[in-house]
Every structure is written in C-alpha cells, then in structure tokens.
Structure 1
C-alpha cells in the first residue's frame, strides 16, 4: 500500500514564503525581509505580483494589459539584479508569479495555489487605507496564514 503525500502546514518550519510586490518601496522592503526569512528557513521565496484587472471601459484606447505586463517584467528584472548582486553571499531559492485580480483576492489565490506557509506584505502607503482597511489588514483578518506586515 502506497502512502499518499498530504500537504501539512507549519510542521517543520515554512517551506514556501510568499511576498507580494507591486513596485512600491514598502513592497521591496517586504521582499528583502521575506528573502531573509526564506534564506534562514531554507524555504522557497514566492515573489508575487498581482496584475490589476482593468474595467472594460478603461481598456479602450489604452493598452492596460500591456502596461501591467511591462510592470511585471520590470519587477522581475529588479529582482534578478538584486539576486545577482548578492549571489554567493546570500543565496535564496525564489520564483516569480503573476496573478490577475484585485490585490487582496489575488494574494489569497496565490497563497492557496502555491501552498504558502507564510505571507509577507508591505504596509500600505495610501492614506485612505487607514480608514477603509488595507490589503495587509484583510489578510491578517482572513486568519489563514501567518502574515507579516513590513513598514
């Protein structure tokens, strides 16, 4: 009788640490923090960019999908450059993923699909989020993973 592999969260330390990046300073600080965690835990760092879904009207005359693809490509280039600068001193296994949607639902989908053991995000830099609630607060309230919010 063969034993089936079952996903088991949090038993031997995190295996996958997910970090959301969007090009903001706080998201890059979160990525640096998550990279340190991944290195110390020998975990995979899943770097995730959520491509916003534009309303149908906004897409007319504006190549919105092309713009978000360019942002994703720019983020990959920045991450690769940072990885090359510290190669041999600070090695970490990482993958880059893009998902489409709003930031909260996109990160939830990414964390579920990638079987993340922990989620790291940057604190919102938008003043209105203090009133309405940020993606970070919503992730914490979801209570599905340990969430670290990096200022």
Structure 2
C-alpha cells in the first residue's frame, strides 16, 4: 500500500466515536435507542439521539398546529429519554445528546449524521407494511453507503 492510500479511510478503524440513533417514539426506534446506548457505552462513544420533525407542505395543514404537535412529540421523547437515562445511569455511563432536525426521516437522518460527524447510524426497523415494498429509511441509509448502519428489529 502506498503512503497516499494508507491514510484515506481512518474513520471507524477503532470503533465509532459518535453514534447517531433515530427515534420517533415507535417501539422499534426505542429498541434501537437502547441498543445504540449499549453500543455507545461499550465503545465509550457519544450517543446522539435524533428526532426528525416532519415538515408539512405549505398550506397542507390549512393552519392546523402541526408544528406544535411535533414539538410536543420531541418534548415527550426528550422526557422519555431523560427518564430512561436517569434509571440506568448507575449501570450505563453514556454521554448523550438530543437533537431535533426537520425534514422527511431519510434526509433528516442524513443531515443529522453529516452534521454530527457520525461514525455509525442505528435505526429501528420500519413498522409500516408498505415499506417492505417501497423501501424503508433503513434500506435507503444502507444504500447511501456513507456510514455503517445497524437496523434493530
């Protein structure tokens, strides 16, 4: 291997330092968060918990308080995660942060992973039947080929 090639891919060689996990309140996303928490603890990595707030097309909601609803979901998730972190703090010593991004789940997670310099991405398996045909967020993240992606059932 030439000297030029030896330093091209350093990220991930000694395990992930930043693990991004997408949460949306679904059971599979909460299982993904628990799995990612264990991974972060074992790797001594930062766990970045990410909620992607959906963005409605202008006028689609006709003034319905969609942003307020997704803000409530984000606040509820923060509370849930803080409670869970508090319960296990003596067992799991995990550094974690909560981030909210806006967009569709796929592009939001891509933005989050890029902005947070993720070494790995963890997501829950889709619980929607249609995704088996169309392709889930997880499959699209894997196909992007930019980070190791773990899909938790």
Q: With the length of structure 2 as denominator, give the TM-score of the two structures.
A: 0.92
Structure 1: distance between partners of 2:61 and 2:69: 11
SS of the residue aligned with 1:121? Answer: strand
Q: Does 1:149 align with 2:137?
A: no
Gaps of 5+ in 1: 1-6
Give how far 1:9 is off. Answer: 1.5
Question: For structure 1, which segment, 98-107 or 59-68, has the greater mean C-alpha deviation from structure 2 after superposition?
Answer: 59-68
Q: What is the total number of aligned residue pairs between the two structures?
A: 145
* Runs of 4+ with deviation above 4 angstroms: none
Return the offset for 1:90: 1.3
- Tell me the equivalent position of 1:67: 69
**Superposed displacement of residue 60, structure 1:** 2.0
Q: 1:50 matched to which residue of 2?
A: 52
- How far residue 61 of structure 1 moved from its aligned partner, in angstroms, is 2.9
* Partner secondary structure for residue 46 of structure 1: strand
Instruction: Report the CA distance between 1:57 and its aligned residue.
Output: 2.1
Which residue of structure 1 aligns with residue 93 of structure 2? 91
Which runs of 5 or more residues in structure 2 are unaligned? 1-8
TM-score (norm 1): 0.93
Candidates 18, 21, 24, aligned match of 1:19 = 21
Measured in 1, the distance between the counterparts of 2:14 and 2:152 equals 24
Q: Secondary structure at the match of 1:88?
A: coil
